[in-house]
Structure 1
Amino acid sequence: MRYLEITIPEGRRDAVLGVLDDAGINYVMSDETSNENYSDVVRFPLPNRAVEPILDKLAAADIPESRVIIINAETVISEEFGAVREQYSQGGAKGERTSRQVLRAKADEFTPSLSIYVIMLLISAAVATAGLLGDSPAVVVGSMVIAPLLGPALAASIGIVTGDDELRREGFQYQILGVAVVIGASIGLGLLARLAGLEPGGVDIVLVAELEERVSPTLFSVLVALGAGVAGILSLTRGFSEAIVGVMIAAALIPPSAAVGITAAWGEYGAALGAFMLVIINLLSINAAALVTLWIAGYRPQGLFDVSPTRRSTYTYATIFGVGLLLLSVPLVGITLNEFETTQLEASAEGAVAGVISGPAYDAVIEYEVEIIREDGYPIRSVDRVVVTIRGLDPGPDAELTDRIYESMAAELDEPVLVEVQYIVAEERGQRSTEEVIPEPPTG
């Protein structure tokens, strides 16, 4: 529900009141005394759905929107207002669709000044880099909360469908700048961490779980960004929690951008390419989803003559986003299929090992573990070998067991694979135990 205050230029009073009277709007008039070529001030409540059509009619009466003030109203007690609400409820469905004018204002409101925007992104990049290097999901989430990405991520699409070129241009510029700032800051922080010897585990930076899931993106990664774009527009147009949706949008952009910087700082350029591909896909997905959602919701420019050019602009950008997503999704299909094949291979290998170990001849086996070792070629990683670790009480490796495991796997798997069997010999001595790892030469 909104409360509007309109300052009427001299000579336009009858035109404005005619629009309000035709719509059955109950208003209050007062004189305008600033002596700035305005004669009256009119105030009236409107349901959300009525704001846009009424302002469009007033615009046709040459009332500039720069002298229109729109305020949130808690409630209105008036029989006349109930009639207006029913008139604009579209068959009784009292939706809370935000007007085009308020939507523009919201997009601008959630876009901070350039200096604040850059400072907040630098802080967010520092937190995200620390969270990824420390493998801390809680810290990574914290970086999303403080990232001011909601306004820029949605402003471009709002500008496209409403014909606001300045808003569209600012939205795209802020998005590109935001990603560049986070990547640049993460590269610098990553280099400092590397020089300080803070490499997690001291072996492979990409083995960190929070990083690994972002350098080999799958098709499911796109769903996060698409959902963020749709939810972002709905939050602005239907009054949902913008803060929560802002975190969702940041989740699609901040950690992957930081992952690009970290992996680049460590010289893992294949992994950096995978993370950067995820960043671009998420950017396209957010903008595409927001654009389509706005158009379906019925947002259009003000004048009738603006509809056709804006429709062409919307179709043009939708085509660019769609083609970009299709082209970048091709490698994602390969990565997704690779992940499915690896999961299937692991399940088949575990089944094969379980079938052998379950025999009575191997009661001395305490437990076993099957691990798929993949090559380091990011973003698509092929299988290098299957490692089977067996922990039992029998001393030394069992050549017969090793052969049976390999034969069972060969029968289960479609393609030959290198199998490595490791034995951990456990010897219990009272309340203490000692373990010795005895590797078996790879088979296959």
Structure 2
Amino acid sequence: MRLVQVLIPRGTRSAVLDTLDGHGVDYAVFDEVGRGGFEAMVQFPVPPSGVEPVLDDLIEAGVREDAYTIVLSTETVVSQRLSALVERFPGLRISREELYTRAAELAPANSTFFAFLLLSTVIATTGLLLDSAATIIGAMVVAPLMGPAVSASVGTILDDRRMTRRGIRLQVVGLVGAIVTAAVMGWLLQQTVLIPPGLDIRSIPQIAERTSPNFLSLFLALGSGIAGALSIMRGSGSTLVGVAIAVALVPPAATSGLGIAFGLPGVAIAGAVLVVVNLLAINVSALVLFWGAGFKPLDAGALEGVRASLVSRIVVFVAAIAVLSIVLGAVTWTTFQTQSFEEEARSELQQQFEEADIEGVELVSVTVDYEPIDLLLGSEPRVNVLVGVPRDREVPPDLAQRWDDQLTAEFDRDVIVRVGFIEAQVSDGKTWERQPVRLTAPTPSP
């Protein structure tokens, strides 16, 4: 419930009260004894969804923009007349005026925004290098990215170009600053003993997760943008939703910066692509939701211009997402293909080994080295097999080549099989006395 207070300009008292009577709103009128220009103040309760239509009619009745209109959020309202008022104004979304105010408040001053964003990037970069999901989530609580994302969309919908430009500028400059901060931090850490020499950051799971983005990442961004817009419209949970938006943007930006610092262009590009895709998805989902909820500019004459601008912006965003999604699609497809091959290769070798039924010989493990980049470059999968053989049994000299031929025929692609043998004595309790490993592998086909 909202309590609205309006200073009535001189000469409009009767029209204002008639408007409120027409809406069936209960009100109280107080004579104005302050500075001139107003003859009374009226205050009345109204549900959040009723603020916008009532204020629109009050403006037509003569309440100008230079008058004072205050909308207060109430803690509790005790009245038997409340249910009738709620039925008169169904709906849950807040008014256009409240939306504008909240969007403006969510985008803090430049110094505050960049200070918190850079601190968030430092914490997120540390979390990535430590492979700590908890640290990364903690960094997202600090990141102030929800405000610019929401304010850019609200400014577009309500035809406030200044708010739109500022929201876009804060997002773009802020994320570029995050990438630079992570790059500088990564370079400085390499000059210390805090990072082991020769560290391959691609082996860190939290970083690897963001260097192989797929379509699920796009769903995260779309969901975050919708949740952010919905939380503002309904007036609940905006701080926690801001964490989801930050998760979609800051860790990939930090990953891109680390890729620059460690001289890994693939990591830098993958992180940057994920940042751009997520940024566009968050903004387009918020734009669509605000427009679909019925928010329109105050000036009716600007409606056509806003609609044209909105459509063109959405088309550009969707086209950019579609182009960048080629990368996401390639990663999704190659990841599926490589993981499917790994699973099928393990199952095939396990089946062949069980069918052979060699007494005393154990299949210890089967691992497959086959990354998405290998599929794109046409590199052969590398299948590593570890077999336990009793000390008194001869090792088949051509086992690796036989399995190579079988897998090649099964999957219709060249593979490299590398077989390692563990010499052991096998007791009834299956206790292994491990000895040096002997390895054999076929010569790769030219």
TM-score, scaled relative to structure 1: 0.91
CA contact under 8 A between 1:342 and 1:383: conserved in structure 2?
no
Q: Does 1:225 find its partner at 2:221?
A: yes
1:109-128 map, 5 Å: 109-128=105-124
Q: Does 1:405 find its partner at 2:403?
A: yes
Helix, strand or coil for the counterpart of 1:399? coil
Give a deviation string over 1:195-223, Cα, whole Å, max 9, x none: 22544683422121111111121122111
Change in 2 beyond 3 A, CA 1:4/1:311:
same
The alpha-carbon deviation at position 407 of structure 1 amounts to 2.8
CA contact under 8 A between 1:158 and 1:168: conserved in structure 2?
yes
The alpha-carbon deviation at position 432 of structure 1 amounts to 8.8
Q: Does 1:25 find its partner at 2:8?
A: no
Inter-partner Cα distance in structure 2 for 1:330 and 1:81: 54
User: Partner residue of 1:92?
Assistant: none
Q: Does 1:71 find its partner at 2:72?
A: yes
Inter-partner Cα distance in structure 2 for 1:210 and 1:115: 30
Inter-partner Cα distance in structure 1 for 2:318 and 2:87: 39
User: Partner residue of 1:194?
Assistant: 190
Aligned sequence identity (%) = 34
Inter-partner Cα distance in structure 1 for 2:155 and 2:183: 32
User: Partner residue of 2:383?
Assistant: 387
* Aligned pair partner of 1:145 in 141, 161, 180: 141
Helix, strand or coil for the counterpart of 2:43? strand
* Aligned pair partner of 1:236 in 232, 237, 261: 232
User: Partner residue of 1:43?
Assistant: 43
Inter-partner Cα distance in structure 2 for 1:222 and 1:154: 18
CA contact under 8 A between 2:124 and 2:139: conserved in structure 1?
yes
Change in 2 beyond 3 A, CA 1:432/1:393:
closer
User: Partner residue of 2:86?
Assistant: 85
| Amino acid in structure 2 at the alignment position of 1:83 | A
Give a deviation string over 1:200-258, Cα, whole Å, max 9, x none: 68342212111111112112211100000111111111233112211110110010000
Helix, strand or coil for the counterpart of 1:97? coil
Give a deviation string over 1:163-206, Cα, whole Å, max 9, x none: 12122111111111220121111011100122225446834221
CA contact under 8 A between 1:152 and 1:175: conserved in structure 2?
yes
After superposing the two structures, state which structure 1 stretch, 344-353 or 72-81, moved more: 72-81
Helix, strand or coil for the counterpart of 2:104? helix
Structure 2 unpaired stretches of 5+? none
| Amino acid in structure 1 at the alignment position of 2:177 | V
| Amino acid in structure 1 at the alignment position of 2:362 | V
User: Partner residue of 1:164?
Assistant: 160
TM-score, scaled relative to structure 2: 0.91
Inter-partner Cα distance in structure 2 for 1:433 and 1:36: 99
1:275-314 map, 5 Å: 275-314=271-310
The alpha-carbon deviation at position 127 of structure 1 amounts to 0.8
Change in 2 beyond 3 A, CA 1:138/1:438:
farther
* Aligned pair partner of 1:136 in 132, 140, 143: 132
Change in 2 beyond 3 A, CA 1:166/1:439:
same
User: Partner residue of 1:346?
Assistant: 342
User: Partner residue of 1:371?
Assistant: 368
* Aligned pair partner of 1:263 in 259, 269, 278: 259
Helix, strand or coil for the counterpart of 2:369? strand
The alpha-carbon deviation at position 83 of structure 1 amounts to 3.0
Change in 2 beyond 3 A, CA 1:362/1:21:
farther
CA contact under 8 A between 1:125 and 1:143: conserved in structure 2?
yes
Helix, strand or coil for the counterpart of 1:368? strand
Change in 2 beyond 3 A, CA 1:207/1:381:
farther
The alpha-carbon deviation at position 79 of structure 1 amounts to 4.9
Runs of 4+ in 1 over 6 A off after TM superposition: 375-378, 427-432
Structure 1 unpaired stretches of 5+? 90-94
Inter-partner Cα distance in structure 2 for 1:64 and 1:393: 92
Inter-partner Cα distance in structure 1 for 2:73 and 2:395: 76
After superposing the two structures, state which structure 1 stretch, 189-198 or 120-129, moved more: 189-198
Q: Does 1:330 find its partner at 2:330?
A: no
Inter-partner Cα distance in structure 2 for 1:422 and 1:75: 74
Helix, strand or coil for the counterpart of 2:92? coil
Helix, strand or coil for the counterpart of 1:272? helix
Q: Does 1:417 find its partner at 2:415?
A: yes
Inter-partner Cα distance in structure 2 for 1:47 and 1:69: 14
Change in 2 beyond 3 A, CA 1:415/1:39:
same
The alpha-carbon deviation at position 382 of structure 1 amounts to 5.8
| Amino acid in structure 2 at the alignment position of 1:372 | D
Inter-partner Cα distance in structure 2 for 1:285 and 1:216: 18
Inter-partner Cα distance in structure 1 for 2:333 and 2:346: 20
| Amino acid in structure 1 at the alignment position of 2:231 | S
CA contact under 8 A between 1:141 and 1:251: conserved in structure 2?
yes
Inter-partner Cα distance in structure 2 for 1:342 and 1:155: 42
Inter-partner Cα distance in structure 2 for 1:263 and 1:397: 45
CA contact under 8 A between 1:338 and 1:381: conserved in structure 2?
no
Change in 2 beyond 3 A, CA 1:201/1:222:
farther
Change in 2 beyond 3 A, CA 1:404/1:71:
same
Inter-partner Cα distance in structure 2 for 1:135 and 1:361: 43
* Aligned pair partner of 2:202 in 200, 206, 213: 206
| Amino acid in structure 2 at the alignment position of 1:118 | F
The alpha-carbon deviation at position 422 of structure 1 amounts to 3.1
Give a deviation string over 1:56-106, Cα, whole Å, max 9, x none: 1122234245611111123433455433321222xxxxx311111111111
CA contact under 8 A between 2:389 and 2:395: conserved in structure 1?
no
